[in-house]
Amino acid sequence: MRLVIATCAVDYEGRLSAHLPTATRLLMVKADGSVSVHSDDRAYKPLNWMTQPCELRAEPGRWVVSNPKGETLTITIDEVHLDVQHELGADPGLQKHGVEAQLQELLAANPGFLSQGLRLVRREYPTDIGPVDLLCRDAAGQAVAVEIKRRGEIDGVEQLARYLERLDLDGRLRPVRGILAAQRIKPQAQVLATARGIECVEVDCERLRGAGVERLTLF
């Protein structure tokens, strides 16, 4: 990794045109050839960048980074304040434990949490436009499709509505109830869900983790 702090102007031509007036910034060149330009705020997003694969042609006072798609990043360098290089080696990578997968696991184990008397038929129940997270039957034997999201937004409602359309074509399932389950459901999504006849359940992950086990032992 090469780190350069320089007073520079930057121009990007590609999916859009963008220009950065002259100022002092960090230029980061990584081992995979990628280049990014950082200002002194915002942890996450570079001001400008070029992802791998790309090629850097560094002349004094002017770097041109281009990629096979024909996008170019031109860095015009006025003054270099720092220029260091260090080999980092390969990174072992991030181990993460996601929320949506966990939610699905917990709700699959405790569907009664979503609606009294719900029983799981199958996780990832297939339709021709993709799998429904949970297919259940309620106490009355009616089929219930459950879409699980970390955050309930309009997309999730529309997605579930499309699944319901599909599932309703199956005589053995019709008519199918729909439940959108999420840690938090946005008002707009609530409204749309109601209009589509879809129920919304906000799930408290902590309570589910604790109470879920209790329920299992109780019934």
Partner DNA sequence: CTATATATCTCGTTG
Partner DNA sequence: CAACGAGGTATATAG
Residues binding its own copies (CB under 8 A): 1, 3, 5, 15-21, 23-26, 28, 30-32, 34-36, 38-52, 81-82, 84, 86-99, 154-155, 158
Q: Would you state the structure tokens that stand for residue 77, as one six-digit string?
A: 């360098």
Which DSSP symbol is given to 74? E
Q: Binds 187, which of DNA, its own copies, none (CB < 5 to 8 A, cut-off by type)?
A: DNA
C-alpha span between 41 and 46 (Å, rounded): 9
The total number of residues shown for the chain amounts to: 219
Q: In whole angstroms, how close is the CB of 182 to DNA at the nearest point?
A: 10
# chain residues binding DNA, by CB under 7 A: 34
**With binding defined as CB under 7 A, does residue 145 bind DNA?**
no
Q: Binds 186, which of DNA, its own copies, none (CB < 5 to 8 A, cut-off by type)?
A: DNA
In the region spanning residues 171 to 190, those forming contacts with DNA, defined by CB under 7 A, are 186-189
Q: Residue 68: which residues within 8 A CB-CB, separation 6 or more?
A: 53
Residue 9, H or E segment:
strand 2-13
**With binding defined as CB under 7 A, does residue 21 bind DNA?**
no
**With binding defined as CB under 7 A, does residue 50 bind DNA?**
yes
**With binding defined as CB under 7 A, does residue 92 bind DNA?**
no
In the region spanning residues 190 to 219, those forming contacts with DNA, defined by CB under 7 A, are none
| HSE-up of residue 179 (Cα within 13 Å, Cβ side) | 25
In one-letter notation, the amino acid at residue 44 is Y
Nearer to its own copies, 24 or 194 (CB): 24
> Under DSSP, is residue 21 helix (H, G, I), strand (E, B) or coil?
strand
C-alpha span between 54 and 50 (Å, rounded): 7
Residue 34 in contact with residue 50, Cβ under 8 Å?
Answer: yes
Nearer to its own copies, 102 or 115 (CB): 102
C-alpha span between 75 and 196 (Å, rounded): 52
Q: In whole angstroms, how close is the CB of 119 to its own copies at the nearest point?
A: 29
Residues at the site binding DNA, with contacts judged by CB under 7 A: 12, 14-16, 18, 42-45, 48-51, 67, 71, 73, 94, 96, 98-101, 129-130, 149-150, 153-155, 159, 186-189
